[in-house]
A and B are shown apart, each in its own frame.
Chain A
Amino acid sequence: MKRRLDVGNVALSLAAPVASLAVAVGLSALLLLISGFNPGDVLSTLWSRAGLASTWLDAAQRAIPLYLSAIAVAVGFKMGLFNIGVEGQYRVAMLATAVVGAAVRLPAVLHVGFCLMVAMIFGAAWATVPAVLKVTRGVNEVISTIMMNFIAIGLTAFLFAEVFKNTPDGDLNAKTRPMPPSSYMPNLIEQDLRALSGFLIVAIVLGIGFYLMVWRSRFGFQLRASGANPAAARIAGINPKAMIMKAMLLSGALAGLVGMPQILGERHAYGNDLQLNLGFDGIAVALLGRNNPAGMAVGALIFGFLNAAGRFLDLADIPKEIVIILQGVIVLTVVIIYELVGRVRARRTQEIAARDLEVPAVELVAA
């Protein structure tokens, strides 16, 4: 009995990603065709890049901040909170860390740790406002975090241009004061012009930590219970307000780290050439990876690969923005197919449980 259940569910678990991939590729090809591009060209370009180690090095590098962003989002998702504000949280944290990190002098390792701490504090601080609004006034966190994003975008732009910019006016490559080398995160691999940042280790540690916290710790259980059934959690004595505060602040703190690969690993200053929108991409990766640390790693890598390989589409006279469409199609397909598979699995589980027991579980129906 047990085995039958497991084999069936393992098959279902495998079917979901395979089907998602097939449907996503098919839909994307259709979209390309409608837009007047040859899907074959796009796919063959991407496919040819997939064979190169350099592409995957680039993909992994790009996947790191996406993964951090996805984990930040997933912490909220696990208790049913939608932190759409990762974008604003990490932008604020980037500027703050660049400024504070450049102002202090610390020994090498300590300086990096200090900067990460600053980033997490500012990310959490930016998430405090929606958390407090939700706990005290019941304001929906989706609305408030989106609003906080706008404030963050405006505020960072203003502070950067008017206060912290350290380059002459008219310089196209405006930056804050450069951070000292003691704050640099070293690269694990450097090859030609490509590099793989030491933040890979940070990301792996956080992924494992996320797993342990969510599935092995008491706090994680309370987090999941609050998400799975808020009414039951409340009655069980899990304080919903305290959980909202903790989850939101933790999510914000993790969001603060999203910009660190750029600040500590690449640019060593806040500037106007930073990669943005990682907060939104993180939501997509979290959805793609179904809030599972391994799944999100795969999702981040897929997004990273598409970004890395997409640059070469231009060479084939195909706009590289096609990649964004592909990413969107993949996320939608995955969400829909996993939902369908989830229903099939629920039916099967019920059927098997009822068949094993041979009890007509009529109440299930009435409920």
Chain B
Amino acid sequence: MAHEPVQGAEPAVAVQLTGIGKRFPGVIANHDVDLTVRRGTIHSIVGENGAGKSTLMKTLYGMHRPDDGTITVDGTEVRFRSPADAIAAGIGMVHQHFMLADNLTVLENIILGAEPTRGGRIDVKGATEQLTRLGASYGIELDLQARVEALGVGQRQRVEILKVLYRGARILILDEPTAVLVPQEVDELFLSLRHLVDDGVTILFISHKLDEVLAVSDDITVIRAGTTVATVKPGEVDRRRLGELMVGSELPVPQISAQPPSDHVTLSLNSVSATEAGRTVIDSVSFEVHRGEIVGVAGVEGNGQFELIETILGLRPASGGQIHLDGEPMEGLDVRQRRHAGLAYIPFDRQREGLMLADPLWENMMLGHEDTSRFSSGPWLRLGHARSECDVAIERFDVATPGNDVPAYALSGGNQQKLIVGREMMAEPRLLVAAHPTRGVDIGAQAAIWEELRAARSAGLAVLLISADLDELLGLSDRLLVMFRGVVTARLDPATATPEQLGMYMAGERQVA
């Protein structure tokens, strides 16, 4: 452990966490966390998904109380009962998911809940002056009268930051702020952060994107399995070393498939379009997925990937174009019929779309397949069969669980995901649509799921992979598509594509054919 020495007459340390531990039912989310954040610096907290970064930041922001340890802010020990206490102590948090009212203006959003009043009425004039001053001093430019719905993601983020500063925060927690940004917006954000730091603001930057962390931080603390394992300076480490600190071992190296995909076209889309409330959300999308091939779809979330999947699944009617599965037109077939035709789906959000959380694993195993001969005969379910199929999936996909009859909520995210992957793969599909198959799962589960996908591809499965993880896309895909505002803007070879290139196309640049 390379701890930064704490010295200086004026409290040079903004935040000091000592021996922080936080336990949840059956889970140790944090233990023995030590963290020293120097005033006026950008201090990054890096770690794998699920390493305990978010739990730690929730502790610091007063969203729950630690079971052990102490928190010191500006040299005084504090005990936060709620975020309001943390705000009063000058700590502000910018959440990963923005909490803004679309139909209000920037100004209204910022003062919402902390409105300055004059004579019992909201002092709009005073607020405008104050915010203009505040924005200018921190170098944040915003049109205060614009409605939030008209703003882009980067601007919305600036609204969130200004909102927190307006409430008097001098210590900012940014939870994965770059997850929703394209590379160009990331650069702008970093510029703003530098400006803030120069003005004496302290920033806690949470991320698992190593290049960004190395680019922006003054200090980097690595969290692994719930505890701080090292604090380093960006000059002292490279990306590889930082990654090793994060995972505690060698980085898994994504590998490109050895064998060429077959000529057989499993899925074909021919200028498929779809609309949402009259608005075009997918615009003439055409591509093919061959047998034994993984086609990756990159793009910033919300650029039509979700609607594309819904259209392929049959949940959303195509307003134009044709979809064929193994040469058969899919038009007029519902989800269940398409599943019977050989389609399987790993959903975006396992808890919301993939599982019945309160029901046992073996019942979850049947979901979507309950009318196949594996799980029912006539109108009756084959309960014994469902249990044994579930045991097979648990074994083959290495789901860590005490048994097949525990409710799905008792499993960790990674194991829930492995169960879903198992459920879909055991149906022996011809086409797998995988949306963020490893989002929020631990490194072990990620490697296992990647391995399954590779093996299935080698066995002839066609996979359409939608992901926000560029490593995953570059490492697994045989071909790569980029989507922007419902249009396929680029077709790339993952062997030669660079993250910079991807970022450019994800930001709306069109590939010149």
Q: Is the CB of A237 within 8 A of B352?
A: no
Inter-chain CA distance A222–B335, complex, in Å, is: 14
Neighbouring B residues of A53 by C-beta, 8 Å = none
Q: Is the CB of A354 within 8 A of B26?
A: yes
Q: Is the CB of A363 within 8 A of B414?
A: yes
Inter-chain CA distance A237–B345, complex, in Å, is: 11
Inter-chain CA distance A352–B355, complex, in Å, is: 20
B136 contacts A by Cβ under 8 Å: no
Neighbouring B residues of A5 by C-beta, 8 Å = 402
Binary contact readout A256-282 vs B (1 if CB under 8 angstroms, 0 otherwise):
000000000000000000000000000
B407 contacts A by Cβ under 8 Å: yes
Binary contact readout B327-342 vs A (1 if CB under 8 angstroms, 0 otherwise):
0000000111111000
Interface residues on A, range: 35 or more
Neighbouring B residues of A2 by C-beta, 8 Å = 402-403
Q: Is the CB of B26 within 8 A of A353?
A: yes
| Nearest A residue to B368, CB-CB | A236
- Report which residue of A217, A218, A351, A352 has the largest number of chain B beta carbons within 10 angstroms of its beta carbon: A218
Known: A218-B370, A218-B381. A237 touches B27 (CB 8 A): no
Q: Is the CB of A218 within 8 A of B371?
A: yes
Binary contact readout A155-167 vs B (1 if CB under 8 angstroms, 0 otherwise):
0000000000000
Q: Is the CB of A234 within 8 A of B315?
A: yes
Neighbouring A residues of B401 by C-beta, 8 Å = 353, 357
B382-398 interface (Cβ within 8 A of A): 383
Q: Is the CB of B383 within 8 A of A365?
A: no
A367 contacts B by Cβ under 8 Å: yes
Q: Is the CB of A362 within 8 A of B50?
A: yes
B379 contacts A by Cβ under 8 Å: yes
Neighbouring B residues of A236 by C-beta, 8 Å = 335, 339, 367-368
Q: Is the CB of A219 within 8 A of B379?
A: yes
Inter-chain CA distance A217–B414, complex, in Å, is: 30
Binary contact readout B345-376 vs A (1 if CB under 8 angstroms, 0 otherwise):
10100011111111100010011101100011
Binary contact readout B400-442 vs A (1 if CB under 8 angstroms, 0 otherwise):
1111001101111111000000000000000000000000111
B18 contacts A by Cβ under 8 Å: no
Q: Is the CB of A357 within 8 A of B400?
A: yes
A229 contacts B by Cβ under 8 Å: yes
Binary contact readout B62-73 vs A (1 if CB under 8 angstroms, 0 otherwise):
000000000000
Minimum distance in angstroms from A281 CB to a CB of chain B? 28
- Report which residue of A349, A355, A363 has the largest number of chain B beta carbons within 10 angstroms of its beta carbon: A363
Known: A219-B379, A221-B370. A234 touches B24 (CB 8 A): no
Inter-chain CA distance A217–B54, complex, in Å, is: 42
- Report which residue of B27, B357, B368, B441 has the largest number of chain A beta carbons within 10 angstroms of its beta carbon: B27
A364 contacts B by Cβ under 8 Å: yes
Picked from A221, A229, A352, A359, the residue with its CB within 8 Å of the CB of B357 is A229
Inter-chain CA distance A236–B338, complex, in Å, is: 11
Neighbouring B residues of A351 by C-beta, 8 Å = 25-26
Binary contact readout A25-50 vs B (1 if CB under 8 angstroms, 0 otherwise):
00000000000000000000000000
Neighbouring A residues of B380 by C-beta, 8 Å = 216-218
A314 contacts B by Cβ under 8 Å: no
Neighbouring A residues of B371 by C-beta, 8 Å = 218
Q: Is the CB of A355 within 8 A of B353?
A: no
B488 contacts A by Cβ under 8 Å: no
Q: Is the CB of B379 within 8 A of A218?
A: yes
A356 contacts B by Cβ under 8 Å: yes
Minimum distance in angstroms from A259 CB to a CB of chain B? 29
A316-367 interface (Cβ within 8 A of B): 346-347, 349-357, 359-367
B29 contacts A by Cβ under 8 Å: yes
A147 contacts B by Cβ under 8 Å: no
Q: Is the CB of B357 within 8 A of A361?
A: no
Picked from A229, A235, A350, A355, the residue with its CB within 8 Å of the CB of B335 is A235
Known: A221-B363, A231-B353, A367-B440. A362 touches B402 (CB 8 A): no
Q: Is the CB of A232 within 8 A of B352?
A: yes
Minimum distance in angstroms from A234 CB to a CB of chain B? 7
Minimum distance in angstroms from B208 CB to a CB of chain A? 12
Q: Is the CB of B381 within 8 A of A216?
A: yes
Known: A216-B380, A229-B356, A361-B412. A350 touches B441 (CB 8 A): no
Binary contact readout B471-509 vs A (1 if CB under 8 angstroms, 0 otherwise):
000000000000000000000000000000000000000
Inter-chain CA distance A96–B411, complex, in Å, is: 52
Q: Is the CB of A238 within 8 A of B400?
A: no
Q: Is the CB of B226 within 8 A of A237?
A: no
Inter-chain CA distance A363–B28, complex, in Å, is: 11
A228 contacts B by Cβ under 8 Å: yes
A214-264 interface (Cβ within 8 A of B): 216-219, 221-222, 224-225, 228-229, 231-239
Neighbouring B residues of A363 by C-beta, 8 Å = 49-50, 412-414, 440-442
Q: Is the CB of A235 within 8 A of B26?
A: no
Minimum distance in angstroms from A49 CB to a CB of chain B? 39
Neighbouring B residues of A354 by C-beta, 8 Å = 25-27, 410, 412
B51 contacts A by Cβ under 8 Å: yes
Minimum distance in angstroms from B380 CB to a CB of chain A? 6
Q: Is the CB of B352 within 8 A of A217?
A: no
Picked from B29, B49, B347, the residue with its CB within 8 Å of the CB of A365 is B29
Neighbouring B residues of A225 by C-beta, 8 Å = 356, 367, 370
| Nearest A residue to B401, CB-CB | A353
Q: Is the CB of B50 within 8 A of A366?
A: yes
B55 contacts A by Cβ under 8 Å: yes
Neighbouring B residues of A362 by C-beta, 8 Å = 27, 29, 50-52, 55, 226, 412, 442
A315 contacts B by Cβ under 8 Å: no
A11 contacts B by Cβ under 8 Å: no
Inter-chain CA distance A1–B403, complex, in Å, is: 10
Inter-chain CA distance A235–B345, complex, in Å, is: 9
Inter-chain CA distance A164–B323, complex, in Å, is: 59
B313 contacts A by Cβ under 8 Å: yes
Q: Is the CB of B368 within 8 A of A237?
A: yes
- Report which residue of B337, B367, B379, B403 has the largest number of chain A beta carbons within 10 angstroms of its beta carbon: B367
Q: List 13 A-B contacts (CB under 8 A).
A: A216-B381, A217-B381, A218-B380, A235-B345, A347-B25, A352-B402, A353-B410, A353-B411, A354-B26, A361-B27, A361-B411, A362-B55, A367-B413
Identify 10 new A-B residue pairs, CB closer than 8 A, beyond the known A362-B412, A366-B55, A367-B351.
A2-B402, A217-B380, A225-B367, A228-B359, A229-B355, A232-B356, A236-B368, A239-B336, A349-B406, A360-B29
Which 5 residue pairs of A and B lie closest in terms of their CB atoms, listed nearest first?
A363-B413, A354-B26, A236-B368, A361-B412, A237-B336
